Structure 1
Amino acid sequence: MTAIGLPDASGTRFTDYLETHSLPSDQADTRAARDGSVLATLVTHSPVEGGWFRPIDDLVISIVMQSCHSDVVRDIGWGRSSFVEAPGCILVTPPGCKSYWTFGGNPLVLHFSIARERLEALGLDWDSSLSDAGADHLNAPLYDRLVSELASRIWSVLEQPAPLGERFVDHAVATMLTVLLGGHVEDRPASPSRGGSGLPAWRMKKVRSLVAERPGLDLSIEELASSTGLSADHFVKAFSTTMGQTPHQWLSSLRIEEAKKLLRQTDQPLTEIALDLGFSSSAHFSSRFKQLVGMPPSAWRATFRS
């Protein structure tokens, strides 16, 4: 883990964190619109513990493209928010806002840094948008498949900027901002049930430890339940209350995250990846991948290949 000090001087763009090495990262790649008003930076993060980041002048939209399902603590000036980051998690950081972060693992995150002049050109008054959205709205992680899909498309288009591509970026960024800042997000993780009791942290830790020992994720509900000392039925109910999804759904999302890593870092064929991760066929794998990610695995590999 790395602790980050807060420099005195305010920065300008998200990339300043990389240039000054104030942001621990394993890998980073930046693409820009022709006028530089929109920067897209794909970062493989290193863990951060108790890190304060200096303010920058841009609005930053961060989308988790590959998840570690780690516990996150975040503060953008409205109090600390704690959550587990998941695939598709979207976080908005206002311009001129110092931020605090704690998280583990090495999540792959696509950050969009949007200059104030671009916001103004799109007819967006930040102060009024913030007032309309409300602090609570932006303090929490957001989820929206349309925004995640647009983020992937923008990243691809920025690889070779062209006039029509620039026009697409302009409209796509405007749509993203309208959805996120206007509070029009459609997809949110299932809310934990209010009934019954959930898994205490020590039992959830045992589940995660077992999963970490079995990278193939060929685990049964009975094995997960046994690691916590609970019956399968009791475990399923408690897990679903805690996580807002069933153990089966959670394991499926973990398999997709492992698939993303293999797609990005290896040349393994899709069929081989599918079978290694316990899917019945490459068609089943592709269908589930597209359902959770919003694009086929082949398209994801072409877009985010290292």
Structure 2
Amino acid sequence: MSLTNAQRGRGATSYTMIHYAWYTVMAPVRGMPSPFYVGQGVAHSPLYNSWTVPQEPMPEHVVFKLSLSEGGAVWVGDDMRPLRPGEASFRRVEDTEVHEGYHPDYRGEFEFLGFIFSGQSAVDLLLQMRAKYGAVYSLDLESPVVRRMLAQAREPSHYIRMTSSEGVRFYNDLIVALMEGVEDAETSRFSSQLAEQVEHTIRDNLAHAWTVQELAGEYGVTREHLTRAFTRAYGQAPHSYALELRIQEAARRLRHTDQPVKRIAIDLGFGSQAAFSRAFRRLLNMTPSDYRSVQKKTT
């Protein structure tokens, strides 16, 4: 994107840094990641973005920008997506592929936390993470690493001294927090897909009285993991869900067919007519025969 000097000048006035601090790392090891700067700010207009805000050349520096409120956005190439509170972008200072800033359609103040690391190893890891996971990450705004960055941005002297090992540890804490967010999202996505597949299996095989152990074996997961994933997605355990579907299908057949109750019980995988009647009564508060009689009287 080609910008005029006037645009760049307006970009410089499109935000206010409320708190900020610079780091001094004692005896730094060349190439190792070190904290460089932390700042909490508020952007006021769409002119705030990494295209228009002036930035000195910093070839071995990485910018981490965390949204503290609505109003942020990230651009990867020509594609833009909004950033929700707790979502962050990760880019090199002189990146030409990834940019972040104020969402062009937003109106209001956009609060953010910016953090800059220096060191070629920080740049290398950023590129590896972006190739695998993309440019956007989630981070709990109440996490220790976020609270620490916010506290350090409020340093009254605007300067923070730390050792090289403290700097590397701080960097690692941030990376670990970001990776945990990625892993939580992947686990949630896998669990959601697993629950949906299990639900289809149950629905497509109503004649089978599935046990949780059988379903877990079908999908190569533990009983505990399957139960957690399914309950999170459908609000009840797989066994209860399967039983309700079978009773719903039994009720449909009782309403719309003349099949004997015993035949329906067998077709839907109940071990006996008595077991079917107990399950039916437990859910619908009447026996299958009574249910059929009531339905005939009302139609």
TM-score scaled by length of structure 2: 0.43
Give 1 or 2: higher strand fraction.
2
Q: Comparing both chains, which one has the higher relative contact order based on Cα–Cα distances under 8 Å and sequence gaps of 6 or more?
A: 2
Task: Answer with 1 or 2: which has the greater Rg.
Answer: 2
